[in-house]
Homo-oligomer: A and B are copies of this chain.
Amino acid sequence: MTDLQNPRILRAEIRAQRFTGPTSGVGGDALQANLVILPEAEAAAFLRFAQANPQPIPLLAVGAPGDPSLPSLGNGIDLRHDLSRYRVWHDGALVGEPADIADLWRDDLVSFAIGCSFSFEDALVQAGLPVRHQSAGRNVPMYRTNIPTRPAGPFEGPVVVSMRAMPAAAAIEAVQICASLPLAHGAPVHLGDPALIGISDIMTPDYGDAPVIEEGDIPVFWACGVTPQAAILAAKPAFAITHAPGYMLVTDIPAGQAERRLRGVHARPGA
Protein backbone atom coordinates (compact mmCIF):
# COMPACT_ATOMS: atom_id res chain seq x y z
CA MET A 1 0.00 0.00 0.00
CA THR A 2 1.25 3.49 -0.83
CA ASP A 3 2.04 5.41 2.32
CA LEU A 4 0.72 8.88 1.59
CA GLN A 5 1.68 9.93 5.13
CA ASN A 6 5.34 9.65 4.10
CA PRO A 7 6.15 13.03 2.50
CA ARG A 8 8.70 11.62 0.04
CA ILE A 9 6.36 8.92 -1.15
CA LEU A 10 3.57 11.48 -1.37
CA ARG A 11 5.70 13.82 -3.50
CA ALA A 12 6.64 10.92 -5.79
CA GLU A 13 2.97 10.05 -6.18
CA ILE A 14 2.16 13.68 -6.94
CA ARG A 15 5.02 13.90 -9.42
CA ALA A 16 3.69 10.78 -11.19
CA GLN A 17 0.22 12.36 -11.09
CA ARG A 18 -1.18 9.37 -9.25
CA PHE A 19 -2.08 11.60 -6.29
CA THR A 20 -3.99 14.64 -7.52
CA GLY A 21 -5.91 15.87 -4.48
CA PRO A 22 -5.42 18.57 -1.87
CA THR A 23 -2.78 17.86 0.76
CA SER A 24 -4.83 18.28 3.91
CA GLY A 25 -4.68 15.00 5.83
CA VAL A 26 -1.72 13.55 3.93
CA GLY A 27 2.04 13.92 4.35
CA GLY A 28 1.94 12.84 7.99
CA ASP A 29 3.18 15.55 10.31
CA ALA A 30 5.39 17.10 7.64
CA LEU A 31 5.45 20.87 7.33
CA GLN A 32 3.40 22.08 4.37
CA ALA A 33 4.10 25.34 2.58
CA ASN A 34 2.50 27.96 0.38
CA LEU A 35 4.36 28.44 -2.91
CA VAL A 36 4.96 31.66 -4.82
CA ILE A 37 7.11 31.75 -7.98
CA LEU A 38 8.05 35.08 -9.56
CA PRO A 39 10.48 36.28 -12.21
CA GLU A 40 13.72 37.60 -10.76
CA ALA A 41 12.72 41.24 -11.46
CA GLU A 42 9.67 41.06 -9.16
CA ALA A 43 11.24 38.54 -6.81
CA ALA A 44 13.65 41.05 -5.26
CA ALA A 45 10.82 43.37 -4.20
CA PHE A 46 8.74 40.42 -3.00
CA LEU A 47 11.62 39.23 -0.83
CA ARG A 48 11.77 42.67 0.78
CA PHE A 49 7.99 42.58 1.18
CA ALA A 50 8.17 39.21 2.94
CA GLN A 51 10.96 40.29 5.23
CA ALA A 52 9.03 43.43 6.18
CA ASN A 53 5.89 41.39 6.94
CA PRO A 54 7.10 38.17 8.57
CA GLN A 55 3.86 37.41 10.40
CA PRO A 56 1.63 37.08 7.29
CA ILE A 57 4.59 35.97 5.11
CA PRO A 58 6.91 33.69 7.10
CA LEU A 59 9.59 32.65 4.61
CA LEU A 60 10.66 29.02 4.93
CA ALA A 61 12.99 28.98 1.94
CA VAL A 62 13.85 30.99 -1.18
CA GLY A 63 15.19 29.30 -4.30
CA ALA A 64 18.09 30.47 -6.43
CA PRO A 65 17.00 31.99 -9.77
CA GLY A 66 16.08 29.23 -12.21
CA ASP A 67 16.52 26.50 -9.57
CA PRO A 68 13.34 24.46 -8.95
CA SER A 69 14.80 22.69 -5.89
CA LEU A 70 14.54 23.78 -2.26
CA PRO A 71 17.14 21.57 -0.57
CA SER A 72 16.61 23.00 2.91
CA LEU A 73 13.01 21.76 2.84
CA GLY A 74 13.58 18.27 1.45
CA ASN A 75 15.94 16.19 -0.62
CA GLY A 76 14.95 15.97 -4.26
CA ILE A 77 12.13 18.52 -4.19
CA ASP A 78 11.40 19.64 -7.76
CA LEU A 79 8.92 22.49 -7.73
CA ARG A 80 8.10 21.91 -11.41
CA HIS A 81 6.29 18.66 -10.57
CA ASP A 82 5.88 18.22 -6.83
CA LEU A 83 2.62 20.03 -6.17
CA SER A 84 -0.64 18.47 -7.24
CA ARG A 85 -2.16 21.69 -8.52
CA TYR A 86 -0.72 25.09 -9.41
CA ARG A 87 -2.19 28.41 -10.41
CA VAL A 88 -0.69 30.44 -13.25
CA TRP A 89 -1.19 34.19 -13.36
CA HIS A 90 -0.66 36.71 -16.16
CA ASP A 91 -0.89 40.37 -15.18
CA GLY A 92 -2.76 39.40 -12.02
CA ALA A 93 -5.34 37.27 -13.85
CA LEU A 94 -5.69 33.52 -13.34
CA VAL A 95 -4.99 31.79 -16.65
CA GLY A 96 -4.75 28.13 -15.66
CA GLU A 97 -4.57 25.46 -12.95
CA PRO A 98 -2.08 22.90 -14.26
CA ALA A 99 -0.90 19.79 -12.39
CA ASP A 100 2.70 20.31 -13.57
CA ILE A 101 4.63 23.45 -14.56
CA ALA A 102 7.69 21.95 -16.28
CA ASP A 103 6.70 23.54 -19.58
CA LEU A 104 6.36 26.96 -17.93
CA TRP A 105 9.67 26.89 -16.10
CA ARG A 106 12.16 29.65 -16.88
CA ASP A 107 15.75 30.42 -15.97
CA ASP A 108 14.76 33.58 -14.13
CA LEU A 109 12.09 32.14 -11.84
CA VAL A 110 12.57 32.49 -8.08
CA SER A 111 10.56 30.28 -5.71
CA PHE A 112 9.32 31.23 -2.27
CA ALA A 113 8.08 28.64 0.23
CA ILE A 114 5.91 30.35 2.85
CA GLY A 115 4.72 28.92 6.15
CA CYS A 116 1.08 27.92 6.35
CA SER A 117 -1.51 27.51 9.04
CA PHE A 118 -1.73 23.71 8.76
CA SER A 119 1.20 23.39 11.18
CA PHE A 120 -0.29 25.52 13.89
CA GLU A 121 -3.74 24.01 13.51
CA ASP A 122 -2.12 20.68 14.11
CA ALA A 123 -0.50 22.03 17.27
CA LEU A 124 -3.87 23.33 18.46
CA VAL A 125 -5.50 19.95 17.85
CA GLN A 126 -2.64 18.19 19.64
CA ALA A 127 -3.26 20.48 22.62
CA GLY A 128 -6.93 19.50 22.64
CA LEU A 129 -8.16 22.92 21.52
CA PRO A 130 -11.19 23.16 19.23
CA VAL A 131 -10.57 23.87 15.54
CA ARG A 132 -14.18 24.22 14.55
CA HIS A 133 -13.89 24.55 10.77
CA GLN A 134 -11.90 21.30 10.68
CA SER A 135 -14.51 19.47 12.78
CA ALA A 136 -17.22 20.83 10.47
CA GLY A 137 -15.30 19.83 7.35
CA ARG A 138 -15.11 23.43 6.17
CA ASN A 139 -12.35 25.70 4.93
CA VAL A 140 -11.13 28.27 7.44
CA PRO A 141 -12.83 31.69 7.12
CA MET A 142 -10.50 34.50 6.02
CA TYR A 143 -11.03 38.27 6.01
CA ARG A 144 -9.38 41.39 4.62
CA THR A 145 -8.60 43.77 7.50
CA ASN A 146 -7.79 47.45 7.93
CA ILE A 147 -4.29 46.47 9.14
CA PRO A 148 -1.86 47.51 6.38
CA THR A 149 1.16 45.51 5.32
CA ARG A 150 4.48 47.35 5.10
CA PRO A 151 4.80 47.94 1.33
CA ALA A 152 7.84 47.07 -0.78
CA GLY A 153 8.03 47.94 -4.47
CA PRO A 154 4.69 47.07 -6.08
CA PHE A 155 3.64 44.84 -3.18
CA GLU A 156 1.23 46.29 -0.65
CA GLY A 157 -2.29 45.87 0.63
CA PRO A 158 -4.12 44.80 3.76
CA VAL A 159 -3.20 41.96 6.07
CA VAL A 160 -5.59 39.08 5.48
CA VAL A 161 -6.45 37.08 8.60
CA SER A 162 -7.87 33.65 9.25
CA MET A 163 -10.33 33.25 12.10
CA ARG A 164 -10.88 30.42 14.55
CA ALA A 165 -13.52 30.83 17.25
CA MET A 166 -13.02 29.15 20.61
CA PRO A 167 -13.66 29.70 24.32
CA ALA A 168 -11.48 32.38 25.92
CA ALA A 169 -9.45 29.87 27.95
CA ALA A 170 -8.61 28.03 24.72
CA ALA A 171 -7.71 31.33 23.06
CA ILE A 172 -5.27 32.06 25.88
CA GLU A 173 -3.67 28.64 25.36
CA ALA A 174 -3.60 29.15 21.60
CA VAL A 175 -1.68 32.41 21.98
CA GLN A 176 0.97 30.60 23.99
CA ILE A 177 1.21 27.70 21.56
CA CYS A 178 1.34 29.82 18.41
CA ALA A 179 3.79 32.36 19.82
CA SER A 180 6.42 29.62 19.59
CA LEU A 181 5.59 28.96 15.92
CA PRO A 182 6.71 32.12 14.06
CA LEU A 183 7.13 30.12 10.85
CA ALA A 184 3.41 29.32 11.01
CA HIS A 185 2.22 32.93 11.42
CA GLY A 186 3.02 33.10 15.15
CA ALA A 187 0.68 34.48 17.79
CA PRO A 188 -2.74 35.81 16.80
CA VAL A 189 -2.89 39.43 15.64
CA HIS A 190 -6.30 40.15 17.13
CA LEU A 191 -9.08 38.69 19.22
CA GLY A 192 -12.53 39.87 20.15
CA ASP A 193 -14.44 42.57 18.29
CA PRO A 194 -13.98 42.02 14.52
CA ALA A 195 -14.96 45.63 13.75
CA LEU A 196 -11.76 46.86 15.42
CA ILE A 197 -9.73 45.43 12.53
CA GLY A 198 -12.20 46.46 9.86
CA ILE A 199 -14.27 43.28 9.57
CA SER A 200 -17.89 44.35 9.26
CA ASP A 201 -19.60 40.95 9.08
CA ILE A 202 -17.89 38.00 10.74
CA MET A 203 -20.38 35.58 9.15
CA THR A 204 -19.39 36.64 5.62
CA PRO A 205 -15.68 36.01 5.13
CA ASP A 206 -13.82 37.32 2.08
CA TYR A 207 -12.25 33.91 1.47
CA GLY A 208 -13.02 30.39 2.69
CA ASP A 209 -16.23 29.20 4.29
CA ALA A 210 -18.59 30.79 6.78
CA PRO A 211 -17.33 30.41 10.34
CA VAL A 212 -18.55 28.02 13.00
CA ILE A 213 -18.97 30.03 16.21
CA GLU A 214 -20.38 28.37 19.31
CA GLU A 215 -21.92 30.10 22.30
CA GLY A 216 -19.26 31.56 24.58
CA ASP A 217 -16.65 31.58 21.82
CA ILE A 218 -14.37 34.51 21.18
CA PRO A 219 -13.10 35.01 17.62
CA VAL A 220 -9.31 34.75 17.32
CA PHE A 221 -7.53 36.13 14.24
CA TRP A 222 -4.19 35.05 12.81
CA ALA A 223 -2.18 36.63 9.98
CA CYS A 224 -2.85 34.51 6.93
CA GLY A 225 -0.90 33.24 3.94
CA VAL A 226 -3.52 34.73 1.65
CA THR A 227 -1.95 38.13 2.43
CA PRO A 228 0.99 37.66 0.03
CA GLN A 229 -1.26 36.13 -2.62
CA ALA A 230 -3.58 39.12 -2.46
CA ALA A 231 -0.60 41.50 -2.63
CA ILE A 232 0.84 39.66 -5.61
CA LEU A 233 -2.44 39.72 -7.49
CA ALA A 234 -2.84 43.42 -6.73
CA ALA A 235 0.71 44.10 -7.95
CA LYS A 236 -0.20 42.33 -11.22
CA PRO A 237 3.22 40.95 -12.15
CA ALA A 238 3.39 39.95 -15.82
CA PHE A 239 3.91 36.33 -14.76
CA ALA A 240 3.50 34.41 -11.52
CA ILE A 241 2.84 30.86 -10.38
CA THR A 242 1.41 29.87 -7.00
CA HIS A 243 0.10 26.68 -5.47
CA ALA A 244 -3.67 26.23 -5.83
CA PRO A 245 -5.36 26.79 -2.45
CA GLY A 246 -5.18 23.57 -0.44
CA TYR A 247 -2.67 21.93 -2.79
CA MET A 248 0.48 22.68 -0.84
CA LEU A 249 4.17 21.93 -1.08
CA VAL A 250 4.78 19.02 1.31
CA THR A 251 8.27 19.23 2.83
CA ASP A 252 10.36 16.57 4.58
CA ILE A 253 10.49 18.54 7.82
CA PRO A 254 8.34 17.40 10.74
CA ALA A 255 6.16 20.39 11.56
CA GLY A 256 7.12 20.22 15.24
CA GLN A 257 10.80 20.56 14.34
CA ALA A 258 10.44 23.28 11.73
CA GLU A 259 11.31 26.24 13.95
CA ARG A 260 14.48 24.60 15.24
CA ARG A 261 15.59 23.17 11.91
CA LEU A 262 14.88 26.12 9.65
CA ARG A 263 16.02 28.90 11.98
CA GLY A 264 19.23 27.34 13.20
CA VAL A 265 22.67 28.09 11.83
CA HIS A 266 23.11 24.40 11.19
CA ALA A 267 19.77 24.06 9.43
CA ARG A 268 19.63 20.67 7.79
CA PRO A 269 17.24 19.29 5.21
CA GLY A 270 14.56 16.80 6.12
CA ALA A 271 16.88 13.88 5.43
Contacts and interface: CB of A to CB of B under 8 A. Distances in A.
A91 interface: no
A189 interface: yes
Given A175-B175, A176-B176, A176-B179, A168 B192 contact: yes
B176 A190 contact: no
A193 interface: yes
A188 interface: yes
Contacts of A191: 168, 171-172, 191-192, 218
A196 interface: yes
A168 to B, nearest CB: 5
A187 B196 contact: no
Contacts of A167: 196
A176 B171 CA distance: 12
Nearest to A147: B169
Nearest to A167: B196
A176 B173 CA distance: 10
A176 B181 CA distance: 13
A128 interface: no
A192 B175 CA distance: 14
Contacts of A192: 168, 171, 191-192, 218
A176 B174 CA distance: 10
A189 B216 contact: no
A43 to B, nearest CB: 31
A10 to B, nearest CB: 34
A167 B169 CA distance: 18
B172 A193 contact: no
Most B CB contacts (10 A, CB to CB) among A173, A188, A189, A191 go to A191
A221 B179 CA distance: 20
A33 to B, nearest CB: 25
A270 to B, nearest CB: 29
18 contacts: A167-B196, A168-B190, A168-B191, A169-B189, A169-B190, A171-B191, A172-B187, A172-B188, A172-B189, A172-B190, A173-B187, A175-B176, A176-B176, A176-B179, A191-B192, A192-B218, A193-B218, A196-B216
Interface of A: 167-169, 171-173, 175-176, 179, 187-193, 196, 216, 218
For the complex of A and B, the 6 pairs showing the least CB-CB separation, nearest first, are A175-B175, A192-B218, A176-B179, A168-B190, A168-B191, A168-B192
